[in-house]
Structure 1
Amino acid sequence: MRRAGAATARLAMALAPHARCIWIACGPGNNGGDGFAAALELVRRGRRVTVTFDGDAQRLPSDARDAFDRLCAAGIPIAPEAPVHFDLAVDALLGLGASRAPGGRMRDHLRRMQTRGAPVLAVDLPSGLDADTGQSSVDPGVAGPGLRHCLSLLTLKPGLFTAQGRDAADVVWFYDLGADRASVPPDARLPGRPAHASRPHDSHKGSFGDVAVIGGAPGMTGAAWLAATAALHAGAGRVFVGLLDDEAPSPAADDALMRRNPRSLALDRMTVVCGCGGGTAVDALLPEVLSRAKSLVLDADGLNALGRHPGWRELLQKRAQAHRATVLTPHPLEAARLLETDTQAVQADRLAAASQLAHALGCTVVLKGSGSVIASPDDCPRINPTGNARLATGGTGDVLAGMVGAALASGLDPQSAATQAVWWHGAAADGWPADRPFSASQLARQAGLGLAPPA
């Protein structure tokens, strides 16, 4: 706890080096003890602090009580109310293991932190956030100009990176407290920036695989063209478009995209991206796609068709037995249909939902959303750290499906293909110029050549 307090104090001074007042809001458990230890360290370093305490000193855990007693012995008072003005707020109210939503004065203190505009530093976890699921019992609200920081202690918590965690903590810091955690298996992995592809000079279009996009029912052809455009710009050697609307014209966007009758495609030699804008028309082709595609990305209406015809799941399981690469890219509602539950249940534990689906169907699953989860049957899930709310618009999921298809066609295994595609997809949105309009069609052309080939 003394190490945690010292680390919190050091970060507080770095975040607000000229602060005239640092408010430290302490709660009734060990998280509050970390706050007491931080306050003592800050005062020793000449900083002005205001400490509030929402709890009963007689009921503090032993380590937290020791920190409280040391604070009092140093002559640092507990303030009856939060300060009117502060330059940094330290949230040490609730940490790991909080089982109920904060109420009363604690709730008021959290609301004051959120609305005053000063930066907030949460110790270990933002109060009310579940460390495993990212679900919060506190509405993050609309943040002011100050960033929300979190100093995660001992280990990074999955909940900081998915569901509501991304809104609860804008910036995550980490300190291991000097403990050796190497022997503890992870609950999830946080992938870093993938290596850019390095293409040999002595290569040709056949070196990077063929992608066939099957979708685009009447009135929804744009989705298929988006996926195909993304696959082309993400580096696929050749891209074919098998529209389910025979009468639809071809856009003049990319002459390199080749239109074909979907029934004429050599599925057993291609990576197939199926379902983008497919409507119910995709049902007629999906069993053949599931049976024959060399590798497969199943998206949107392809997933909905799987939900309507549960017997087709056996075809997915046969693909797994034959070691044919398959990636599903559901959003939460599509995942809920496949799991025969509802969106709320999926979002309540995104890592568990993605893992359950991956094990049930024997394939890699990308559960899209804030902190997209990539789950495979034989490894712990990965949580994607890139992306922002720009992606919350129609067509961006079609772009992602095309990017995953290009990665599979290059020879990457399903988990690596999904992980890299999701990372670059989000990174494109993160790096989007503020003065440039954002759209899925523009995003498809920014897919780039970042997908790395196998070693």
Structure 2
Amino acid sequence: MHPLLPTTSSLPLFDVAASRRIEARALSHSPDLMERAGLAIAKLALALRRGDGPVWVACGPGNNGGDGRVAARWLAQHGVPVHIGHDAPSHPTLVIDALLGLGLNRAPDNELLTTMAAMQACGAPILSVDLPSGLLADTGQPAGERAVRADHTLTLLTLKPGLFTGEGRAHCGRIWFDDLGIGPDEAPTADLLGPTARPGRSPTSHKGSHGQVLVVGGAPGMQGAARLAARAALACGAGRVYVDLLGQTASEPADPGRPELMRGTLAELPQAVGVLGCGAGPGLAGALPDLLHQLPRVIVDADALNAIAADHGLQALLRARSPGSTLLTPHPLEAARLLGRDTTILQTDRLAAAQDLATRFGCSIVLKGSGSIVASPGERPAICASGGPALATAGSGDVLAGWLGGLWAQQSTSSAHVIACAGVDAHGRAGETGQVLRAGDLIARLAAQR
């Protein structure tokens, strides 16, 4: 058993159907599996408990409740006072939430909702078993009006996607994992991203060895977005970074604060990695056909996404591009526009929405948000567990787009999916701070990572 985050490598994720299959096969070979699960819960409960009051174990009728009852037995054997039931004891020192777990397939009934509310109100820390009760394992969304907000979640046997995306991180608290000594015996449903090494540099390399990036955007009044993207690409290590500031005269500097950045256009840089849309406004739509037709690799963000959502011709151009050459980075509202859906509905299953976008446009997708999703045609999707609310600030998406462009400039043979996985995880890790993070400071944190 160990705390899961931050990850040190990529890890396999398994949805409900796969987790049930793995559990069934494990039970057929290891009939003591529930005993192992209960022991793991009890060990963590002993480490988390503070004080002399009872441990309240709220058990449901299924395997999750069985795990809780075994844990209660182990705790009692160690002299810990234990209360099993749906009613709260006086002054509990810990609550073990073993109500629902993986078995949830509908909204909790009123009796369970009452117990969940009492657990939340009792004042003791909550340790959820496998998943916080009421949270859907595949989507990270509450199944009904409420899901438990745990302080700790011990997930058992497999890692589930819903722990890491949607509302999962807000409900799970600190996530712990115990595989109970059972290795998965089938392919994962998705991957949980881990850190990726930055591109290396040869001792004989020069600026021409590390590619070119062309940032197209920065309409009047919105130049900051394009400049943030360009600064991020430069900090990432791209050899040359150019900015095409829409609606600006050629004498306007690319970035007065960064003289390393240069002005450039598609006509001058047809082989650059394009970062399209940061602060572009509506004026980019007319230039997009040429950009999408000529640039070999593109990251499409912000106003470029909105233009594509409104134009079937641009959508056809996306689908006609070479496989692995295009990366879209929508936030949920932009993704909803691209799919013609309501944002709230899209957010109910982020993994499926990202895969739908990848299939519809034949592109790699980064669906941003808590637990960003990377999806690409023919690739296993990935979820980013790094990041936090410090990234919820103006310009952080522009920084991500530019960083992705900088990575791709240096790794010209890598697919959009590979670049997306590496860049999204690095961006998230740089944003792990308890303070509000300005976009310019985010670039400095990204550059400082090793």
Q: For the superposition of Structure 1 and Structure 2, which TM-score range results when normalised by the shorter chain?
A: 0.7 to 0.9
Do 1:407 and 1:418's aligned partners in 2 also have CA atoms closer than 8 Å? no
How far does residue 17 in structure 1 lie from its aligned partner after superposition? 6.4
Q: Find the aligned partners of 2:257 and 2:124 in 1 and give their Cα distance.
A: 47
How far does residue 198 in structure 1 lie from its aligned partner after superposition? 2.9
- CA separation of 1:302 and 1:265: change in aligned 2, threshold 3 A: farther
Of residues 254, 257, 278, the one that matches 1:253 is 257
What is the aligned-residue identity percentage?
Answer: 47
Of residues 24, 29, 42, the one that matches 1:9 is 42
Do 1:294 and 1:324's aligned partners in 2 also have CA atoms closer than 8 Å? no
Quote the residue 2:78 is aligned against: 45
Q: Does 1:98 align with 2:104?
A: yes
TM-score between the two structures when normalised by the length of structure 1: 0.86
How far does residue 249 in structure 1 lie from its aligned partner after superposition? 5.9
Quote the residue 2:89 is aligned against: 83
Q: Does 1:386 align with 2:386?
A: yes
Which amino acid letter does the alignment assign opposite residue 391 of structure 2?
Answer: L
Do 1:234 and 1:449's aligned partners in 2 also have CA atoms closer than 8 Å? no
Of residues 308, 319, 322, the one that matches 2:321 is 319
Q: Find the aligned partners of 1:244 and 1:31 in 2 and give their Cα distance.
A: 57
CA deviation map 1:242-287 (0-9, x unaligned): 0102156654221111123x354322x1100001111110111101
Do 1:197 and 1:449's aligned partners in 2 also have CA atoms closer than 8 Å? no
Equivalences for residues 7-406 of structure 1 within 5 A: 7-16=40-49, 20-53=53-86, 81-136=87-142, 137-139=144-146, 148-182=151-185, 184-247=186-249, 250-260=254-264, 262-267=265-270, 269-320=271-322, 323=323, 325-406=325-406
How far does residue 334 in structure 1 lie from its aligned partner after superposition? 0.8
Equivalences for residues 403-418 of structure 1 within 5 A: 403-411=403-411, 412-418=414-420
Quote the residue 1:447 is aligned against: 446
Q: Find the aligned partners of 1:113 and 1:162 in 2 and give their Cα distance.
A: 24
CA deviation map 1:61-96 (0-9, x unaligned): xxxxxxxxxxxxxxxxxxxx3023122111011122
Q: Secondary structure at the match of 2:41?
A: helix
Q: Secondary structure at the match of 1:135?
A: coil
How far does residue 360 in structure 1 lie from its aligned partner after superposition? 1.8
CA deviation map 1:180-221 (0-9, x unaligned): 422x22111012122244322211111111000001112211
How far does residue 13 in structure 1 lie from its aligned partner after superposition? 1.2
How far does residue 176 in structure 1 lie from its aligned partner after superposition? 2.2
Aligned-residue RMSD, C-alpha: 2.0
Do 1:127 and 1:138's aligned partners in 2 also have CA atoms closer than 8 Å? no
Q: Secondary structure at the match of 2:192?
A: coil
Quote the residue 1:65 is aligned against: none
Do 2:217 and 2:245's aligned partners in 1 also have CA atoms closer than 8 Å? yes
Which amino acid letter does the alignment assign opposite residue 66 of structure 2?
Answer: G
Between 205-214 and 355-364, report the one with greater CA deviation: 355-364
TM-score between the two structures when normalised by the length of structure 2: 0.87
Which amino acid letter does the alignment assign opposite residue 167 of structure 1?
Answer: A
Q: Find the aligned partners of 1:324 and 1:271 in 2 and give their Cα distance.
A: 13
Do 2:393 and 2:437's aligned partners in 1 also have CA atoms closer than 8 Å? no
How far does residue 422 in structure 1 lie from its aligned partner after superposition? 0.8
Q: Find the aligned partners of 2:342 and 2:311 in 1 and give their Cα distance.
A: 18
Do 2:394 and 2:439's aligned partners in 1 also have CA atoms closer than 8 Å? yes
Do 2:324 and 2:363's aligned partners in 1 also have CA atoms closer than 8 Å? no
Do 1:20 and 1:87's aligned partners in 2 also have CA atoms closer than 8 Å? yes
Q: Find the aligned partners of 1:281 and 1:42 in 2 and give their Cα distance.
A: 66
Q: Find the aligned partners of 2:269 and 2:77 in 1 and give their Cα distance.
A: 73
Q: Secondary structure at the match of 2:380?
A: strand
Do 2:230 and 2:261's aligned partners in 1 also have CA atoms closer than 8 Å? yes
| Uncovered stretches (5+) of structure 2, i.e. residues with no partner | 1-33
Which amino acid letter does the alignment assign opposite residue 108 of structure 1?
Answer: T
Which amino acid letter does the alignment assign opposite residue 209 of structure 2?
Answer: S
Do 1:374 and 1:419's aligned partners in 2 also have CA atoms closer than 8 Å? yes
Large movers: runs of 4+ above 6 Å: none
CA deviation map 1:395-430 (0-9, x unaligned): 111100001111111113211211111111111111
Q: Find the aligned partners of 1:415 and 1:345 in 2 and give their Cα distance.
A: 25
Which amino acid letter does the alignment assign opposite residue 83 of structure 1?
Answer: P
Between 364-373 and 13-22, report the one with greater CA deviation: 13-22
| Uncovered stretches (5+) of structure 1, i.e. residues with no partner | 54-80
How far does residue 102 in structure 1 lie from its aligned partner after superposition? 2.8
Do 2:199 and 2:410's aligned partners in 1 also have CA atoms closer than 8 Å? no
- Count of residues in Structure 1 that have an aligned counterpart in Structure 2: 412
Q: Find the aligned partners of 1:349 and 1:324 in 2 and give their Cα distance.
A: 24
Do 1:319 and 1:325's aligned partners in 2 also have CA atoms closer than 8 Å? yes
Q: Find the aligned partners of 1:161 and 1:19 in 2 and give their Cα distance.
A: 33
- CA separation of 1:446 and 1:88: change in aligned 2, threshold 3 A: same
Between 112-121 and 221-230, report the one with greater CA deviation: 112-121
Q: Find the aligned partners of 2:145 and 2:386 in 1 and give their Cα distance.
A: 24
- CA separation of 1:316 and 1:148: change in aligned 2, threshold 3 A: same
Do 2:329 and 2:368's aligned partners in 1 also have CA atoms closer than 8 Å? yes
